[in-house]
Amino acid sequence: MEFETWKKIEFINSPKIVGIPVGEYEISSHGNLRQIISDNIRKKVKINTTSDQRPRYGFTLDNGKRVMPFIHQLVAQAFIPNPEGILSIIMCKHSSRVEEC
């Protein structure tokens, strides 16, 4: 079995996500999500699912709005090397279907 690796979530800058999430979060290579409470305390968070059973989580931003990225997007952003920013373009087009970001 593969060892579970954790990485801090860095949110993609996008016109659709304007603001900074309240609190800090980590995503694992297995798709688990936890909130960083302090230097040595982490709290696992409950992941929601859509009607077609796709896991996602709702983050509250500092401006009071909520965003709900899919867990697979957060895992890809954290663990797939992306030196030229291509992943953010693909994810933006995927989430908006047609709109340019």
| pLDDT at site 98 | 46
Q: What residue ranges of the chain have pLDDT lower than 50?
A: 96, 98-101
Cα 100 from chain centre: 20
Q: Which of 71, 92, 88 is nearest to 27 (CA)?
A: 71
Parse the chain into domains and list their residue ranges. Answer: 6-96
What's the CA gap between 79 and 19, in Å, rounded? 23
Cα torsion 49, 50, 54, 57 to 10°: value is -50
Q: Which residues contact 90 (CB under 8 A, 6 or more apart)?
A: none
Q: Residue 73: how many CA atoms within 13 Å on its side-chain side?
A: 20
- pLDDT tens, residue by residue, 60-71: 877 788 888 899
Does pTM surpass 0.75? Answer: no
The third-level CATH classification (topology) of the domain covering 6-96 is Homing Intron 3 (I-Ppo) Encoded Endonuclease; Chain A (3.90.75)
